[in-house]
């Protein structure tokens, strides 16, 4: 009898233990918000579940009271169900590649894994994400200087990188009719090889009434040109010559009362004014930046000091008279460059997989140059277009609207909400500047969140990456 009772007690205990194990698992599987008290036996206490999806612990989301931006929900079709696909909703994809000596061939690949992918982002987008959507421009920044009826529209398309066959095919697929009366601004990084550059610009020239171009770093690489150029300045001359032959504008001009001013520039290291991230093994610029090896410069010019930035800035002097004429006519003016004129147009270092990125993206001389055209205070009609970092951007800073709309690398494009397939080229001007700021992840983020240049605590996705590689 005693044996039977003991056996029954053992069975009851086993059933109870199984119940304790089973309930939390079922609860989680069904997507219940709170875990049962038994959950800590099976899951780390910090791991929360919302609607069946794991969320990162709160401490990761908000170390200094700052919320980090969520990644865009990557797939264009799935995102279209929950968020209306905006015309310009990329931007979390990292800056251009063109760098070596880093896992997967560049920090851009690494940055693409920011936030470890779409699963977390999808969860964040429910509660943690503070990214706003379409924002109206402040009335004070609306341009009322409308062009005449039927005037040219202005489109923007930077960083075409048509050495990638997918990108060349994208250009080939562009309508041959739709843009016949329009202007296209191409702020650099068309292609690495002269041959691809000419092919691309010829196609664009056939599609648009006018094409304006300034060179980017990739355009001046010499490594695949078979030694036919003495250096990158030799290649620059060849590109400007072929532009002239093709009818591509590389100097300021006026189209339907609209002044367009290409600005030549190069980056310099002390453009970066924000605190460095320390305590992690961040690769040197020399190791990471391919420009240092793929460009060739005469002895007196170098990427490692301000000499190249000065050289390219002085190239704008030859256009002084035509710029003054455009200013005299009081045209609506759009300036454009390849490089970044202000550090606020790049995410903070703690958000970047390569935190030293701001050292190789911009020029103070460029900002001074464009302010000399638009005015120190800016004005309603002032607009500057740039490229290089591959972060979509649309914002107003100190009276000037700054826009980036890159085609980027195929792998970057695929991670964007609408892939760039149907919103590019981006229409910036149609009888006046477009009167809403386009949704872009980072510029939206910085409209809602203050920049913290002295905060060097890495964003969770960057910290995880450095822990992994160190």
Rounded to a whole number of angstroms, the minimum distance from the CB of residue 415 to Fe ion is 16
Residue closer to Fe ion (CB basis): 215 or 259:
215
- SS3 string of 199-222? HHHHHHHHHCCEEEECCCCHHHCC
Residue closer to Fe ion (CB basis): 96 or 290:
96
> How would you class 379 by CB atoms within 10 Å of its CB: exposed for 0-12, middle for 13-18, buried for 19 or more?
middle
Q: How far apart are CA 444 and CA 76, in angstroms?
A: 19
Return the bridge partners of 186, or none.
213
Rounded to a whole number of angstroms, the minimum distance from the CB of residue 290 to Fe ion is 11
Rounded to a whole number of angstroms, the minimum distance from the CB of residue 288 to Fe ion is 15
Q: How far apart are CA 66 and CA 445, in angstroms?
A: 11
- What distances in angstroms separate CA 91 from CA 11, 65, 158, 283, 414, one per listed residue? 59, 23, 13, 24, 12
Beta strands of 280-338 (E only): which ranges? 332-336
Rounded to a whole number of angstroms, the minimum distance from the CB of residue 208 to Fe ion is 20
**3-state DSSP assignment of residue 131:** coil
Rounded to a whole number of angstroms, the minimum distance from the CB of residue 91 to Fe ion is 14
CA 368, 235, 107: angle at the middle one, nearest 5?
65
Residue closer to Fe ion (CB basis): 217 or 381:
217
Rounded to a whole number of angstroms, the minimum distance from the CB of residue 205 to Fe ion is 21
Question: Could you tell me if 214 and 190 are in contact, meaning their C-beta atoms sit under 8 angstroms apart?
Answer: no
Q: How many CB atoms lie within 10 A of CB 285?
A: 18
Residue nearest Fe ion by beta-carbon distance: 96
Contact set with Fe ion (CB under 5 A): 96, 159, 189
Rounded to a whole number of angstroms, the minimum distance from the CB of residue 159 to Fe ion is 4
What is the Cβ-side half-sphere exposure of residue 426, based on CA atoms within 13 angstroms? 34
CA 18, 24, 25: angle at the middle one, nearest 5?
85
Q: How far apart are CA 346 and CA 403, in angstroms?
A: 12
Rounded to a whole number of angstroms, the minimum distance from the CB of residue 361 to Fe ion is 10
For residues 110-125, b (16+ Cβ closer than 10 Å) or e, as one string? bbbbbbeebebbbbbb
Structure tokens at 144: 């009322």
Rounded to a whole number of angstroms, the minimum distance from the CB of residue 388 to Fe ion is 6
């Amino acid at each position: 009898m005693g044996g039977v009772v003991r056996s029954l007690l053992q069975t009851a205990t086993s059933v109870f233990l199984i119940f304790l194990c089973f309930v939390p698992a079922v609860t989680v599987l069904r997507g219940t918000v709170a875990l049962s008290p038994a959950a800590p036996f099976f899951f780390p206490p910090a791991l929360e579940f919302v609607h069946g999806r794991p969320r990162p612990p709160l401490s990761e989301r908000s170390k200094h009271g700052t919320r980090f931006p969520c990644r865009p929900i990557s797939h264009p079709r799935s995102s279209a169900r929950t968020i209306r696909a905006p015309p310009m909703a990329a931007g979390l994809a990292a800056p251009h590649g063109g760098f070596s000596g880093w896992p997967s061939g560049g920090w851009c690949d690494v940055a693409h894994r920011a936030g470890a992918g779409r699963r977390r982002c999808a969860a964040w987008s429910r509660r943690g994400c503070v990214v706003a959507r379409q924002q109206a421009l402040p009335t004070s920044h609306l341009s009322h200087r409308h062009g005449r009826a039927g005037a040219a529209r202005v489109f923007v398309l930077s960083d075409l990188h048509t050495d990638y066959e997918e990108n060349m095919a994208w250009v080939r697929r562009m309508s041959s009719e739709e843009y016949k009366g329009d202007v296209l601004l191409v702020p650099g990084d068309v292609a690495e090889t002269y041959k691809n550059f000419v092919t691309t610009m010829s196609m664009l020239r056939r599609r648009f009434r006018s094409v304006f171009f300034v060179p980017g770093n990739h355009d001046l690489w010499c490594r695949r040109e078979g030694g036919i150029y003495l250096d990158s300045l030799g290649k620059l001359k060849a590109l400007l010559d072929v532009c002239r032959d093709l009818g591509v504008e590389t100097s300021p001009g006026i189209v339907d009362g609209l002044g367009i001013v290409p600005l030549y520039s190069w980056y310099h290291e002390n453009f970066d004014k924000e605190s460095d991230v320390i305590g992690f093994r961040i690769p040197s610029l020399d190791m990471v930046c391919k420009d240092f090896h793929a460009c060739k410069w005469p002895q007196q010019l170098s990427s490692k000091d301000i000499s190249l930035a000065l050289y390219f800035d002085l190239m704008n002097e030859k256009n002084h008279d035509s710029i003054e004429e455009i200013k005299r006519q009081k045209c609506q003016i759009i300036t454009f460059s390849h490089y970044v004129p202000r550090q606020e147009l790049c995410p903070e270092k703690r958000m970047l997989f390569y935190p030293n990125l701001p050292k190789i993206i911009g020029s103070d001389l460029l900002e001074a140059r464009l302010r000399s055209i638009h005015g120190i205070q800016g004005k309603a009609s002032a607009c500057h277009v740039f490229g290089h970092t591959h972060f979509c951007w649309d914002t107003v800073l100190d009276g000037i609207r700054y826009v980036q709309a890159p085609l980027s690398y195929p792998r970057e494009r695929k991670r964007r909400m609408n892939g760039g397939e149907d919103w590019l080229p981006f229409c910036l001007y149609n009888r006046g500047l477009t009167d809403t700021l386009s949704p872009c992840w980072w510029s939206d983020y910085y409209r809602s969140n203050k920049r913290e240049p002295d905060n060097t605590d890495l964003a969770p996705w960057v910290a995880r990456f450095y822990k992994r590689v160190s």
